[in-house]
Amino acid sequence: MAWDDEDLMDGPVPKWHQIAERLRSALTKGEFAPGEALPSETLLTRRFGISRTTARSALNELESEQLVTRRSGQGTIVLPPKVEQPLNLLASFSDDMRARGLRPSYRVIEVAARPAPADTARELGIGEGEQAVCVDRVLLADDEPIASSVSWLSPRIIDPAAPPDAGTLRDSSLYDWIERTTGTRISSGQEYIEGGVADSHLAGRLAVTKGAPILIARRRALSASAAPLEYVVITYRADRYRFRIELSRP
């Protein structure tokens, strides 16, 4: 049954909510593809005999859930589904994207040895200003920017005089490169996540507007012996990424 096959019902459930629920279900079923426009306020008004205010409220509800975006002159455009990351799983970006049927790639901004800032040095257990390899990349899924990543690699495991080649990291996982090159596997980590807004620098990297919501993850990755190998700050687009945690009651 299509989303508009039946008339709306009179009763306690507001009509704008009924329309939003039908369109939400249609999106879940794939009846509207990412980049496609949803029915306009005018079409909804004519089909269901409702006011423009009611139609607008339904579409606003979907926008508040970040399922669509409303663009002047283009209408209500379906957004790609969010990428979901379980909070209890430490996986490389490549593995994460492939598990979701997306093609990972990277835009390498810089790979260089630099003096470690104070917070980075503390997380890696090295001296402030000590040289460490910094890997600055934009993470893409199906060629669309998903996140900006700045990784610092411990000089105990990666010689600052021999950083990875930028071309290598354009097409492969940093974690895979570390394991192949050093024989050391990143096996655990600690991560803190908070919300923020994109400044002009991040907005340009992530192809979002300045002030758009972002998720900031700060992670310290450890070897099997609990030695710090990497400290990374990953800034995700909040409209394309979300975290999931499984909860149980004791």
Which three-class secondary structure string do you get for 184-232? CCCCEEEEEEEEEECCHHHHHHHCCCCCCEEEEEEEEEECCCCCEEEEE
The pLDDT of residue 84:
59
% of residues, the chain, pLDDT over 70: 92
- Of 78, 96, 129, which one is at a domain's C-terminal end? 78
8 within domain boundaries: no
Are 32 and 55 members of one domain? yes
Spell out, as residue ranges, where the chain has pLDDT lower than 50: none
pLDDT of residue 90: 62
What pLDDT, on a 0 to 100 scale, did the predictor assign at position 248? Answer: 64
Residue 10 lies in a domain: no
Whole-number pLDDT of residue 82? 67
Here the CATH number for the domain that contains residue 187 is 3.40.1410.10
Burial of 38 from C-beta contacts in 10 A (0-12 / 13-18 / 19+): buried
The reply to whether 102 and 32 lie within a common domain is no
Instruction: Compute the distance between CA of residue 202 and CA of residue 208 in angstroms, rounded to an integer.
Output: 8
Residues 104 and 186 both lie in one domain: yes
**pLDDT confidence of residue 86:** 56
The pLDDT assigned to 46 comes to 92
In a domain, 22, yes or no: yes
**Maximum distance among all alpha carbons in the chain?**
72
Tokens of residue 128, six digits: 């402030």
Answer whether residue 249 is part of any domain: no
Q: Do residue 72 and residue 106 come from a single domain?
A: no
Confidence (pTM): 0.67
pLDDT at 176 (0 to 100): 86
Cα–Cα distance, 83 to 99 (Å, whole number): 10
231 shares a domain with 117:
yes
Asked if residue 250 is part of any domain, the answer here is no
Is residue 57 within 8 A of residue 16, CB to CB? The reply is yes
Domain match, 232 and 109 both: yes
> How many structural domains comprise the chain?
2
**178 and 220 housed in the same domain:** yes
